[in-house]
Amino acid sequence: MSLHPQRRRVRFQPWLILWLTLVWLMLWGEVTWGNILAGVIASTVITVALPLPPVAFKGRFHLVGLIVLFGRFAWDLLVASIEISYIAATRRRLPRGGVIAVPMRSNSDLYMTIVSDFQTLVPGSLIVDANRETATLYVHIFDPVEESGVEEARRGVYELEERVLRAFGSDAEIAAAGLAPRGRLRWRIKEQNREEKQ
């Protein structure tokens, strides 16, 4: 066994370099040959000196799950925008905010990041912290009127996580999160309603 540290293999990542170069150009606000060259050089140095860790993805894309995920996101975006605009326009009372902890059912960093992104893009909610060790998201919610509003916000994060898993996760990841297999969503909803009635 060698006592020398293993040398890190340098990988050329053209798509990441292209993306970072586009971000560089947007930051400068002007497309010139000098900016393009500087962006390519800076992007190459960043990807070589500060490589991103590999992201484990064991799932696959599911068309129906993707449609549901983005369709519901568009609806949530519309509803939240109208609600916050109404509160801002009427100003009948000062809105209150709160931070809630939501432990994720999946331990995947990738899915936790996707949930965080979707949650933050909806007006009125913001991820203020994430704990990778406990897979917990800390969500700032806008104007929770009472305890039922807090529970509703927490349930909304769990529903978003389920939609993300059904759009990108494998059957094993869905089962590990304690969710019903694909194609049995209606059965799960019926079982939940039956348990609530009891």
Any domain includes 158: yes
Any domain includes 76: yes
pLDDT in tens, 154-191: 999 999 999 999 999 888 889 898 888 876 544 455 45
Quick one: 132 and 103 in the same domain? yes
Q: In what order do the strands lie in the sheet with 97-103?
A: 97-103, 136-142, 125-131
Residue 191 to residues 160, 162, 173, 197: CA-CA distances in angstroms?
20, 17, 21, 10
Q: Which domain holds residue 22?
A: 14-49
- Please tell me the pTM assigned to this model: 0.68
What residue ranges in the chain does DSSP mark as E strands? 97-103, 125-131, 136-142
Quick one: 72 and 129 in the same domain? yes
pLDDT in tens, 112-152: 999 999 999 998 888 999 998 899 999 998 776 667 778 88
Any domain includes 117: yes
Any domain includes 5: no
Q: Domain count of the chain? A: 2
